[in-house]
Amino acid sequence: MGDVKLLGTWPSPFSYRVIWALKLKGIPYEYIEQDLLNKSPLLLQSNPVHKKIPVLIHGGKPIAESIIILQYIEEKWPQNPLLPSDPHEKAVARFWVKFADEKSLSIWKVFRFSGEEQEKGLKESLEMLEIIEEHAPGLGQKKFFGGDKIGMVDLALGLVAHWMGAIEEVTGVQIMEAGKFPRLEAWMKNFKEDPVIKENLPELKDMLAALKRRREIHLASK
Amino acid sequence: MGDVKLLGTWPSPFSYRVIWALKLKGIPYEYIEQDLLNKSPLLLQSNPVHKKIPVLIHGGKPIAESIIILQYIEEKWPQNPLLPSDPHEKAVARFWVKFADEKSLSIWKVFRFSGEEQEKGLKESLEMLEIIEEHAPGLGQKKFFGGDKIGMVDLALGLVAHWMGAIEEVTGVQIMEAGKFPRLEAWMKNFKEDPVIKENLPELKDMLAALKRRREIHLASK
C-alpha cells in the first residue's frame, strides 16, 4: 500500500473531503498541516501548478485537487465504494460532483467579500441550492445522494452541509432559509449524523473563531 | 451497445472533444445539431441543469458536460484507451484534463470580449500556456501528452490546438507568439496531423466565418 500523507489546512472543507474518503475506506494516513501564508517546500514541490491544498502523497507520489484525489482513492482502494458501478449512474454522480465542486465556490464569495460582490455570491449560492433541491437524483428519497451509503457527491457537498452554516453566522448573511430546501435540509442532517462524518467534522466553535479571523484578513486585504 | 446520439453545435470544441473520442474508439453515432438561440425540447430535457451542449444520449440515457462524457465513453468502450491504466498516471492525466477544461475558458474571454475584459482573458491565456509548456508531463518528449497515442488530455486541449489560431485571426489579438512555446507548438502539429483528428476538424475557412458572426453578436449584446 505504501505510506499515505495528506497535506491540508484546518478547517478547509477541501481537506475534509479527502479525510472523509480515507476514513470511509479505512486507510491510515499522516496528516501534515500547511501554512498557506508561508508555503512549505513540500507543498510547492508537490503541487507546483496551483500551490494549493489538499495534496495526497502516496508512496512518494503527489496528487493535487480534492476531486482528483477522491477519484484516485476510489480506484486505489475499492472497498466501501464512493461511486456507483454502473457506468451511466457513475457519470451522473460525476456530473453532480463537478457541479458541487464548481458551484459551491459561490459560498466562499459570501464569506470573502462584502457589498456587491457578496450579493452576487449570495445570488449564485441560492441558484446552486435551488438546482440541487430540484434536480439532484435520489435527494429526498434516500439518505444520501447515491443511496443509503455516503458517496462522492455527498463528500463534494460537505461545504454546504457544515461550513455554510458557520459562514452564515460569521457574515450575518442568511443563505439557506429554513423550510425552503426541505430535501437538502434532510440530507444535511443525515450527512452530519453518519458516524464517520460525525467523528471527523471540525468543532463549530473553533471553526467560527478561525473563519472570523480569516474573514477579517480578507476584508482588510482588499 | 444501444444507440448513441450526440447533441452538439458546429463548430464547438466541446462537441469535438466527444466526436474525437467516439471516432478514436470506433463507435458509430448520430449527430444532432442544436440551435442554442432556440433550444430544442430534447436538449432542455437532456441537460436541464446547464441547458448546454454537448450531450451524449446512449440507450435513451443522457449525459452532459464534455469531460464527464469522455470518462463515460472511456469506461463503456475500453478499446483504444484515453487514460493510462496505472492509478497514479491516471490521476495525473485527470489533473491536466481538469486544468485544460477550466483554464482554456480564458481563450473564450479573448474571443467574446473587447477592451479590459479581453486584456484579462489574454493574460490568463498566457499564464495557462506557460504552465502547460513548463509543467505538463511528457510534453516535448513524446508525441502527445500521455505518450505516443492521443489521450484525454489532448482532447481536452483541442481548443488550444485548432480554435485558438482562428480566434487570434478573428480578434486580431495574438495569444501564442511563435517560438515562445516550442513544446506546445510541436504538440499542436502532432495533434492536428493524427489521422482521426485530421479527418474530424472543422475547416478553418468555415470556422472563421462562423466565429466572426458570433463575435459580432457577443460584442453587440453587451
User: In Å, how far is A152's CA from the nearest CA of chain B?
Assistant: 15
- Euclidean distance between CA atoms A114 and B43, whole angstroms: 37
List chain A residues with CB under 8 Å of B64.
95
B87 closest CB neighbour out of A65, A76, A95: A76
For CATH 1.20.1050.10, list the domain ranges present in chain B. 87-220
* Angle made by CA atoms A18, A24, A29, in degrees to the nearest 5: 55
Chain A: residue whose CA lies nearest to B137: A49
Question: Which residue, among A74, A26, A31, has the nearest Cα to A53 in the 3D structure?
Answer: A31
List chain B residues with CB under 8 Å of A64.
95
Do B151 and B144 meet the contact criterion of CB atoms below 8 Å apart? yes
Residue-level length of chain B: 222
- The three grid cell numbers given for residue A79, joined into one nine-digit string: 472497498
Question: Which residue, among A202, A201, A196, has the nearest Cα to A22 in the 3D structure?
Answer: A196
CB pair distance less than 8 Å for A98 and B65: yes
CATH number given to B4-76: 3.40.30.10
- Euclidean distance between CA atoms A23 and B18, whole angstroms: 36
pLDDT tens, residue order, chain A (222 aa): 459 999 999 999 999 999 999 999 999 999 999 999 999 999 999 999 999 999 999 999 999 999 999 999 999 999 999 999 999 999 999 999 999 999 999 999 999 999 999 999 999 999 999 999 999 988 888 999 989 999 999 999 999 999 999 999 999 999 999 999 999 999 999 999 999 999 999 999 999 999 999 999 888 886
- Euclidean distance between CA atoms B156 and A76, whole angstroms: 24
- Alpha-carbon separation of residue B147 from A31, A71, B78, B83, B139 (angstroms): 34, 22, 18, 11, 9
Bridge partners for A30 per DSSP:
A5
Those residues of chain B whose CB sits closer than 8 Å to some CB in chain A are 48-49, 58, 61, 63-65, 67-69, 71-72, 75-76, 87-88, 90-92, 94-95, 98-99, 131, 135
Q: How far does chain B reach from its first CA to its final CA, in angstroms?
A: 45
- The three grid cell numbers given for residue A173, joined into one nine-digit string: 448573511
Handedness of CA B187, B193, B195, B200 (dihedral sign): positive
Do A165 and A125 meet the contact criterion of CB atoms below 8 Å apart? no
DSSP B57: E
CB pair distance less than 8 Å for A90 and B75: yes
List chain A residues with CB under 8 Å of B49.
95, 99, 131, 135
For CATH 3.40.30.10, list the domain ranges present in chain B. 4-76
Question: Which residue, among B94, B77, B90, B93, has the nearest Cα to B25 in the 3D structure?
Answer: B77
Kind and range of the H or E element at A190? helix A182-193
- The three grid cell numbers given for residue B24, joined into one nine-digit string: 478514436
Residue with cell 466572426: B212
User: In Å, how far is A94's CA from the nearest CA of chain B?
Assistant: 7
Strand A30-33 and strand A4-8: pairing?
Answer: parallel
Do B22 and B29 meet the contact criterion of CB atoms below 8 Å apart? yes
- Alpha-carbon separation of residue B98 from A37, A157, A209, B153, B155 (angstroms): 26, 19, 33, 9, 12
Q: What is the 3-state secondary structure (H, E, C) of B9-29?
A: CCCCHHHHHHHHHHHHHCCCC
Question: Which residue, among A121, A131, A71, has the nearest Cα to A96 in the 3D structure?
Answer: A131
Question: Which residue, among A133, A165, A5, has the nearest Cα to A69 in the 3D structure?
Answer: A5
Per-residue pLDDT tens over the stretch A68-92: 999 999 999 999 999 999 999 999 9
Residue with cell 434516500: A142
Q: In the prediction, which pLDDT does A1 show? A: 47
CB pair distance less than 8 Å for B95 and A61: no
- Euclidean distance between CA atoms A207 and A198, whole angstroms: 15
Strand ranges, E, within B60-173: 61-64
List chain B residues with CB under 8 Å of A58.
88
B91 closest CB neighbour out of A68, A90, A95: A68
Would you tell me which CATH number, out of the four given (3.40.1170.10, 1.20.1050.10, 1.20.120.1760, 2.40.50.140), belongs to the domain A87-220? Answer: 1.20.1050.10
- The three grid cell numbers given for residue A183, joined into one nine-digit string: 430535501
Per-residue burial over B182-215, b if 16 or more Cβ lie within 10 Å, else e, is eebeebbebbeebeebeeebbeeeebbebbeeeb
Those residues of chain A whose CB sits closer than 8 Å to some CB in chain B are 48-49, 58, 61, 63-65, 67-69, 71-72, 75-76, 87-88, 90-92, 94-95, 98-99, 131, 135
Q: In the prediction, which pLDDT does B222 show? A: 65
Chain B: residue whose CA lies nearest to A97: B68
Query: A120 by DSSP, 3-state: which?
Result: helix
- Euclidean distance between CA atoms B22 and A137, whole angstroms: 27
Count CB neighbours of A221 within 10 A.
7
Would you give the distance in Å from CA B128 to the centre of its chain? 15
pLDDT tens, residue order, chain B (222 aa): 459 999 999 999 999 999 999 999 999 999 999 999 999 999 999 999 999 999 999 999 999 999 999 999 999 999 999 999 999 999 999 999 999 999 999 999 999 999 999 999 999 999 999 999 999 988 889 999 989 999 999 999 999 999 999 999 999 999 999 999 999 999 999 999 999 999 999 999 999 999 999 999 888 886
User: In Å, how far is B132's CA from the nearest CA of chain A?
Assistant: 9
Question: Which residue, among B194, B82, B175, has the nearest Cα to B132 in the 3D structure?
Answer: B175
ipTM of predicted complex: 0.96
* Angle made by CA atoms A181, A14, B98, in degrees to the nearest 5: 100
